Amino acid sequence: MNNPSRFGTLRRKATLIGGVSACGIIVTYALAGGGGSLPVPTTLNDFALPGTQTGGLDPNHPMVGADSCASCHGFYDEMHDPYSTWSTSMMGQSMRDPVFLAAMTIANQDADFSGSLCIRCHAPSAFLEGRHVPSDGSALNDIDKMGVSCNFCHRMVDPVYEPGVSPMVDEQIIMDLGSDAPTVAQTHSAAFIVDPEDRRRGPYDMGPDFFYHQWEQSPFHQESQMCASCHDVSNPIYSAQPDGTYTLNDLDAAHPTGNVYDTFPEQRTYSEWLMSDFAQGPIAIGDRYETQLNEVSSCQDCHMPELESPACLFEDDRPDYSNHSFVGANNWVLNAIRNLNPNDFVTGLQPQLVANQIARTEEFMRDASDMELSVVSDNLNVRIINQTGHKLPTGYPEGRRMWLNVKFFDASDTLIAEHGAYDEATAELTQNDTKVYEMKIGLDAHASALTGIPEGESFHLVLANKVFKDNRIPPRGFTNANFEMIQAAPVGYSYSDGQYWDDTQFTIPAGAVRAEAKLRYQLTSKEYIEFLRDENTTNTLGQEIYDEWVINGKSPVMDMDEGVLELVLPCPADLTGDGVLNFFDVSAFLNAYNTMDPAADFTNDGVFNFFDVSAFLNAYNAGCP
């Protein structure tokens, strides 16, 4: 971690957290016993991270609900205003997301108190004010269920104080945290700093006459580092070993360093960006992501695209207002949330707002990649180009996948071959004849012995300690060394340094005259949703989300790219090149033969003889396709 160009901001000494474990014997005993048992007897200490801790807010300045912001920031422009767009984002619905809730239930079954770590990112107000225990979310209030809310984000503090840049009050806030003040390398998995008082931050200077609420100007809110808090997700119960494996820590103690790259990597979206060319400067992206910018760099540039709009009822258009839709890749869960919370007035999920968000999501996913089709050595080559600042796809690994669907047609427009077929009725994907881009994690022998879960790929996220597959396409600026350093190297696949595309070749079947290709994406696979249903022994959440998955089209597939290539097969006997075989082609062949023109060397042996004449006549009689 000494690359000055990428880690120049990692300038503080890492702070050790926690102390000597009192439960190391538990680990030793479980390994010796073989087979293990569940749940793993973890405690809140095992999931402790630096940053503002529970009870760290001023009692006179509790977290406030997003509905209190709506009176000034909502309901006047359903495509732009901060409240209406936020409320239909997965940020606004992070603690109502039924897929997440079902997954958290299984996490709690697998490791005690693990749900508290999940809640820390999905409902930060609950963590800050002590409602993350019980770790099943049963103590959450209506404000907590608003997820990653306005008040939370706009009270976040840059972990690195910069004199003359950061708000002056931030220096004291960081100093007051003492040993809990995180380094940049420790701001992951919701290790955030929050202003104890309700001073709301944003990138704009509101001027001396602004009186609606306390405010501080904060450049941090336009920096990707802000997103690192919850988009570099790690499991702190495991520690990285020199041989590249991950072993369980002594229990009832915080991770010995808290450093993101010493823990098991569940998601590395921010780090992937950090190692991309986007982090080094703006990249031209053309007409993408609904932004008025021609070049983008930060997470916000794409996921909060700039446009001309007001931010509240009491101001004119801002030329560089950042849209708060936080568009990602989720195209069906909003409808499930509406179905499961029909009487919850605070969801903000009006039908038109949901439709708008789904439309934005589908367009956003189409902008994320490009497809190029070509013929290489009698094969169809499908190239997918990553146009994002991170891996494609990125984020939560469970159940999400991207794949190639390729069809070949003959001259009568009959389908003669298909790769990557997906059955809409059964939600089953034929995977053995195509490329599926995905990350697969699971348990190695060490974790299997501790838990009793079989070694290999698994959806038991909180127990996983090994990456079994990762062939997702890297971003511009990819190097193997840098991605190895951030625990995001390809697994079971390879990319060359600088490669931000991937090629897949398919054999062109005899008689094919046209190829159609699609890059398809699905958020929630059948295998994953059935896992959530079948492994839940605690409550009905697994069955509920399975039922919603069925009702909502079994996680509808999005087509990110589509292409058609006409396969103009050569007609060897058409020496005149007019697409018709007749006397003129015969004459052309005889002339070429008599002059020993290579065009008449049909056997490609450098000799002109009877075999060339025979080969020409066979091709002539076969006709052109």
Residues 133, 135, 140, 144, CA torsion sign: positive
Phi, psi for residue 185 in degrees, rounded to 5: -70, -10
Cα 266 to Cα 86: distance, rounded to the nearest angstrom: 25
For the chain, counts of helices (H) and of strands (E): 20, 23
Which tens digit of pLDDT belongs to each residue from 120-139?
999 999 999 999 999 999 99
**Residues 369-427: pLDDT tens digits?**
999 999 998 899 999 999 999 999 999 999 999 999 999 999 899 999 999 999 999 99
What confidence tier does 569 reach under pLDDT thresholds 50, 70, 90?
Answer: low
Going from the C-alpha of 103 to that of each of 118, 543, 618, the distances in angstroms are 10, 12, 64
Query: Quick one: pLDDT band at residue 361, thresholds 50, 70, 90?
Result: very high
Specify the pLDDT at position 44. Answer: 98
| 606 Cβ contact partners less than 8 Å away, ≥ 6 residues apart | none
Residue 346: pLDDT above 80? no
- Residue count (the chain): 625
Is 480 within 8 Å of 369 (Cβ atoms)?
no
Provide the token pair at 466.
Answer: 């090994």
pTM, whole model, 2 decimals? 0.87
Give residue 568's pLDDT band: very low, low, confident or very high (50, 70, 90): confident
Read off φ and ψ for residue 72, nearest 5 degrees: -110, -25
Average pLDDT score over residue span 546-570: 94
How many other C-beta atoms lie within 10 A of the C-beta of residue 605? 10
pLDDT exceeds cutoff 80 at 624: no
Half-sphere exposure of 424 (CA within 13 A, CB side): 7
Give the pLDDT confidence of 234-245 residue by residue, as tens digits. 999 999 999 999
Least confident of 491-500, 555-564, 589-598: 589-598
**Which has the minimum average pLDDT: 51-65, 75-89, 174-188?**
75-89
**191: pLDDT strictly greater than 50:** yes
Q: What is the pLDDT of residues 290-320, one digit of tens each?
A: 999 999 999 999 999 998 888 888 888 888 8
Percent of the chain topping pLDDT 90: 80
Q: What is the pLDDT of residue 345?
A: 54
Given a cut of 70, is residue 519 above it in pLDDT?
A: yes
Q: Is 602 left (phi over 0), alpha (psi -120 to 50) or beta?
A: alpha
Give the pLDDT mean for 587-597.
Answer: 94
Residue type, 318: R
Mean pLDDT of the chain: 91
Per-residue pLDDT of 142-190, as tens digits, reads 999 999 999 999 999 999 999 999 999 999 999 999 999 999 999 999 9
Q: What is the mean pLDDT of residues 606-616?
A: 93
Alpha helical stretches, state H, 341-439: 351-367
Is a pLDDT exceeding 70 seen at residue 28? no
Report pLDDT for 76.
65
Q: Where are the beta strands (DSSP E) in 125-206?
A: 200-202
- Indicate the range of 38-47, 271-280, 562-571 predicted with least confidence: 562-571
Best-predicted range by mean pLDDT (34-38, 196-200, 571-575): 196-200
Spell out the residues 6+ positions from residue 376 whose beta carbon is closer than 8 angstroms to its own.
Answer: 505
Confidence at residue 158, expressed as pLDDT on a 0 to 100 scale: 97
Domain residue ranges in the chain:
366-524+552-566, 583-622
> What's the rounded mean pLDDT across residues 51-80?
90
Q: What is the pLDDT of residue 37?
A: 81
How much is the average pLDDT of 204-227? 92
- Among 164-173, 263-272, 336-345, 505-514, where is mean pLDDT lowest? 336-345
pLDDT in tens, 412-440: 999 999 999 999 999 999 999 999 999 99
Residue 4 pLDDT > 80: no
pLDDT score of 609 more than 50: yes
Q: With DSSP H G I counted as helix, E B as strand and the rest as coil, what are the percentages for the chain, rounded to 5?
A: 30, 20, 50
For residue 580, what pLDDT is reported? 87
The residue written with tokens 């079971």 in the block is 492
The pLDDT of residue 344 is 63
The whole-number average pLDDT for the span 9-36 is: 33
pLDDT band at residue 256 under the 50/70/90 scheme: very high
Instruction: State the pLDDT at residue 467.
Output: 98
